[in-house]
Structure 1
């Protein structure tokens, strides 16, 4: 039976994932990886790491479609086609993308601070999943402290303490340092998945490819 845990268990397959909670391919890649973990029956210890797609994004954010078209030079038709494709892929993986024309891209630095705190509380993974759902399925503003505190509470974290964490920015320096570590080590796009702290795989690779990678690693450990 497969298992995904926040704990760094000695016998578990160690998986570090660098990602952002407003990155659609990050949740697609994880859902593919999750299915691969289920298919192989391996026990995996997943650790999430921060990456900001748009660190300079102002507090008010930007219309998501306009942002994507400006950033990548895509047309409105290409943007809609990408949304349709993601929605279908998400449906196949059991994740609901609920894109609308008024969705906004937002800064995620505070969300990453909250995740850093949640890791100390043993709730990093459920909070990460809840934040993906809050943004892509419920279209909530992940740069709003009250929204973030509500999401934290939904996975069993203390809401008042979540607000305190966001108000006093106690983990801001730690998050910046971690972001810097990954970018200085060559991570320029996400998702970036590191198996056993030495095998880097970038992009959403698909269930079959992740399954093959895990089996190769398992065979290597058994040899």
Structure 2
């Protein structure tokens, strides 16, 4: 029987480096799939929990957050697009237009894991990244979230009911608190077997090295 490596992938779908990190993680897991079984749990983290409906212009937001000029933001975005493409995500050439609150997306991801399985949660995570960074559409428009649900093979009617109510709000808030109380303040943060922390968009080789070390310990 192959050993199991549990992965808690703490991230936000509004984080481009989280998409890069996920793509690189997927490449690493594919490399070692014959040696180990992976259990990936996507955990919630909000970069902009206080963002109001309608969001904020993305360039304006990044300029204010990091003290950059508009030109510097565009240069950084071009660099991230190149790394995302290597990781399997073709970001929109003009970049995301606005920054949004992502709490509803986290509620849907929680639902996917609870009522389906981890594979469906992973499929939805990828589709939500594509919605925001590749299609660059409005996350406040429920239709765009439901399109992602549909592409991931989940029930859009149930998803609509979740979006219309407050289901899983408490559960998502509780999970967020677990990781912020543990000191996680930046994403992606990847926790292996509840013990080892990797931070940032690690290249596939770093993930492979960490996995091989864990395999040797089993």
Please state which band the TM-score falls in when normalised by the shorter chain: over 0.9
Q: 2:157 matched to 1:163? A: no
State how far apart, in whole Å, the 1-side matches of 2:124 and 2:43 are: 13
Specify the alignment match of 1:23 in structure 2: 15
State how far apart, in whole Å, the 1-side matches of 2:110 and 2:9 are: 14
State how far apart, in whole Å, the 2-side matches of 1:93 and 1:51 are: 21
How far residue 43 of structure 1 moved from its aligned partner, in angstroms, is 2.2
State how far apart, in whole Å, the 1-side matches of 2:145 and 2:68 are: 31
Which range is displaced more, 38-47 or 122-131? 38-47
Specify the alignment match of 2:106 in structure 1: 112
Among 191, 203, 211, the alignment partner of 1:214 is: 211
Q: 2:179 matched to 1:182? A: yes
Q: Give TM-score scaled by structure 2 length.
A: 0.93
Q: 2:40 matched to 1:43? A: no
Q: Give TM-score scaled by structure 1 length.
A: 0.91
Helix, strand or coil at the partner of 1:194? strand
State how far apart, in whole Å, the 1-side matches of 2:96 and 2:194 are: 39
Which range is displaced more, 12-21 or 96-105? 96-105
- The residue correspondences of 1:89-128 to structure 2 (distance < 5 A) are 89-100=83-94, 103-120=97-114, 121-122=116-117, 123-128=120-125
Among 150, 154, 164, the alignment partner of 1:153 is: 150
Indicate the RMSD between aligned Cα atoms, in angstroms: 1.6
How far residue 80 of structure 1 moved from its aligned partner, in angstroms, is 1.2
Instruction: Give the gaps of 5 or more residues in structure 2.
Output: none
Specify the alignment match of 1:34 in structure 2: 26
The answer (yes or no) to whether the contact 1:146–1:163 under 8 Å persists in 2 is no
Q: 2:138 matched to 1:141? A: yes
State how far apart, in whole Å, the 1-side matches of 2:78 and 2:214 are: 34
State how far apart, in whole Å, the 2-side matches of 1:64 and 1:118 are: 28
- The residue correspondences of 1:73-88 to structure 2 (distance < 5 A) are 73-88=67-82
The answer (yes or no) to whether the contact 1:99–1:136 under 8 Å persists in 2 is no
Instruction: Give the gaps of 5 or more residues in structure 1.
Output: 1-9
Count the aligned residue pairs: 213
How far residue 65 of structure 1 moved from its aligned partner, in angstroms, is 0.9
How far residue 51 of structure 1 moved from its aligned partner, in angstroms, is 0.4
How far residue 156 of structure 1 moved from its aligned partner, in angstroms, is 1.5
The answer (yes or no) to whether the contact 1:36–1:207 under 8 Å persists in 2 is yes
Helix, strand or coil at the partner of 1:187? coil
The answer (yes or no) to whether the contact 2:57–2:97 under 8 Å persists in 1 is yes
Distance 1:102 1:219, change over 3 A: closer
Specify the alignment match of 1:3 in structure 2: none
